[in-house]
Amino acid sequence: MVYGVFLRAINVGKHNRIRMDALRSLVEPLGYGGVRTYLQTGNIVLESDEPAAVVAERLEEALAGSGLRGATAMVRSREDLLALGDGTIFVPYAAEEHRHLAIFTREPIDLPKPAPYEMRGATFVAVGSGAVLAVIPREAPRPVNVNALVESLWQTQATTRWWNVVDDFRRELTA
| 169 part of a folded domain | no
pLDDT of amino acid 11 = 62
Instruction: Count up the domains in the chain and report the number.
Output: 2
| 9 part of a folded domain | yes
Pair (74, 113) in one structural domain = no
Domain region containing 92: 83-161
CA distance linking residue 166 with residue 103, whole number of Å? 10
User: Which residue, of 65, 80, 95, is where some domain finishes?
Assistant: 80
Residues contacting 119, CB < 8 A, separation 6+:
149, 153
pLDDT of amino acid 12 = 58
Distance of CA 78 to the CA centre of its chain: 13
21-64, pLDDT tens digit by residue?
888 998 999 999 999 988 767 789 999 999 999 999 999 999 88
Of 114 and 5, more confident: 5
User: Which residue, of 26, 60, 80, is where some domain finishes?
Assistant: 80
Pair (64, 131) in one structural domain = no
100-144, pLDDT tens digit by residue?
999 999 888 887 778 898 888 899 998 876 889 999 999 877 778
